[in-house]
């Protein structure tokens, strides 16, 4: 099947649609990426051109194909213990503050949110780090919410199964403690053990939608997500994150990101680390 090229008109329409639905800002330099990824959706759905596909998604689709389209457009790149300085900061500063607590009262309940969790390496890394620092059977009540807009990567995250190459950054002692080695048809793969998986709840969530959470978080990790948003969307999201945090709670963003130029209420702590005070 031969497809027509993605015209400027079609690119602009899809860009506007993606921005409206999930806040991702697709500038002109992303045209080839959009053409390639939506071209794959055309092949899978049988549409002959981008115009027909756009009409379907905006006029006839009940919502399922829109989700698949956003899955195709969103970029999901992650790894275990990515951006090591964040994990050092957790161990050296954040976790000890939970033990000391406010006014010397130890934290008994800890809530974390991995916003843009991709295929799960980030929340599982956090779960490992928490389990290493705290005795999760006798320590505080710990729960991690892990969300992403992509149903595809969430499916991978929920399974918690990774090829050996994906866990190369995990120390051998932690691999033995927190992963189950595959055998037979699963040779070369490792599955996260249930003691970690029971700490995490995976959900699909679109960050530009209103936050439905009834409880506030001690820490929100949203790394390498806001880089895809324009300043207006970054500002809205940063302030929603602020409201979703407990006092003294932290926000981690990607090391290639900054809130400079964004009107927000956070205190700057160090590159990519902000705190609600």
When pLDDT is averaged across residues 8-22 and rounded to a whole number, the result is 89
What CATH code is carried by the domain that includes residue 261? Answer: 3.40.50.150
Same domain, 139 and 266: yes
Q: What are the φ and ψ backbone dihedral angles of 258, each rounded to 5 degrees?
A: -155, 155
Q: Among this protein's residues, is 265 annotated catalytic? A: no
- pLDDT band for position 2 (cuts 50, 70, 90): very low
Shared-domain flag, residues 158 and 208: yes
pTM comes to 0.83
Domain boundary (27, 49, 73) is at 73
Residue 225 has pLDDT above 60, yes or no: yes
Same domain, 255 and 174: yes
pLDDT digits (tens, 9 = 90+) for 100-154: 766 555 678 999 999 999 999 999 999 999 999 987 667 789 999 999 998 989 9
What span, in angstroms and rounded, lies between the C-alpha atoms of 209 and 225? 15
User: Does 22 lie in the same domain as 135?
Assistant: no
């992509």: which residue's tokens? 150
Is there a catalytic annotation at residue 243?
A: no
Q: Are residues 63 and 95 in the same domain?
A: no
The one catalytic residue among 13, 37, 55, 204: 37
Beta strand 109-115 with 217-222 is: parallel
Domain shared by 60 and 189, yes or no = no
Domain hosting 32: range is: 8-73
Number of domains the chain is built from: 2
Q: Which of 35, 148, 197, 223 is catalytic?
A: 148
């Amino acid at each position: 099947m031969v497809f027509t090229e993605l015209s400027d008109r079609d690119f602009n329409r899809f860009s506007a649609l993606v921005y409206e639905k999930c806040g991702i800002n697709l500038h002109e330099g992303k045209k080839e990426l959009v053409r390639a990824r939506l071209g794959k959706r055309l092949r899978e759905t049988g549409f002959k051109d981008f115009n027909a596909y756009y009409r379907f998604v905006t006029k006839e689709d009940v919502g399922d194909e829109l989700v698949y389209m956003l899955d195709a457009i969103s970029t999901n790149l992650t790894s275990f213990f990515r951006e090591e300085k964040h994990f050092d900061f957790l161990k050296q500063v954040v976790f000890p503050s939970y033990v000391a607590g406010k006014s010397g009262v130890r934290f008994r309940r800890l809530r974390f949110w991995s916003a843009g969790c991709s295929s799960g390496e980030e929340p599982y890394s956090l779960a490992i780090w928490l389990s290493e620092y705290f005795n999760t059977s006798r320590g505080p009540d710990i729960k991690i919410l892990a969300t992403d807009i992509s149903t595809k990567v969430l499916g991978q995250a929920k399974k918690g199964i990774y090829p050996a190459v994906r866990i190369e950054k995990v120390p051998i002692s932690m691999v033995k403690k927190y992963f189950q080695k595959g055998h037979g048809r699963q040779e070369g793969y490792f599955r996260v053990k249930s003691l970690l998986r029971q700490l995490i709840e995976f959900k699909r969530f679109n960050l530009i939608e209103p936050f439905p959470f009834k409880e506030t978080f001690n820490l929100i990790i949203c790394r390498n997500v806001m880089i895809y948003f324009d300043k207006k969307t970054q500002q809205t999201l940063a302030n929603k994150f602020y409201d979703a945090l407990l006092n003294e709670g932290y926000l981690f963003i990607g090391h290639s990101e900054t809130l400079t130029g964004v009107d927000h209420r956070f205190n700057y702590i160090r590159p990519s680390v902000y705190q609600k005070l």
